[in-house]
């Protein structure tokens, strides 16, 4: 259940294919978490902390988008995380 299903934004400057793959990847991560732990979570619980390196996953396109737009590593990580939050919110809603 979403705490607040209000606003949902589209992630821009990423292909529909990449967005679809990222959404499917996260749906699998959410399914695994809910099936095995059955407790509330935040996206950072699934792909943050020790799992923040998205290299080789469908999520890397989000980080790459921001790096290609001239952002620093730190900013790209933060902005990619925001993008992913919108993707997950849309998938769950």
In tens, the pLDDT along 7-19 reads 888 899 999 999 9
Tell me which DSSP letter residue 5 carries: -
Per-domain residue ranges for the chain?
16-92
Tell me which DSSP letter residue 9 carries: -
Instruction: Give residue-wise pLDDT tens across range 9-65.
Output: 889 999 999 999 999 999 999 988 888 887 888 888 889 888 888 999 999 999 999
Taking Cα atoms as reference points, which of 93, 87, 18, 17 lies closest to residue 58? 18
In this prediction, residue 3 carries a pLDDT of 59
Tell me which DSSP letter residue 55 carries: T
In this prediction, residue 4 carries a pLDDT of 63
pTM of the model: 0.85
> Can you tell me the distance from the alpha carbon of 78 to that of 19, in angstroms, rounded to the nearest whole number?
18
Taking Cα atoms as reference points, which of 59, 52, 43 lies closest to residue 3? 43
């Amino acid at each position: 259940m979403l705490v607040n299903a209000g606003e949902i934004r589209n992630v821009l400057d990423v292909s529909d294919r990449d967005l679809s793959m990222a959404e499917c990847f996260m749906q699998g991560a959410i399914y695994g978490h809910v099936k095995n732990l059955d407790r509330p979570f935040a996206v950072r619980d699934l792909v943050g902390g020790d799992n923040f390196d998205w290299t080789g996953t469908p999520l890397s396109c989000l980080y790459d988008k921001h790096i290609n737009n001239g952002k620093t590593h730190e900013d790209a990580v933060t902005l990619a995380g925001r993008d992913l939050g919108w993707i997950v919110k849309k998938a769950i809603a």
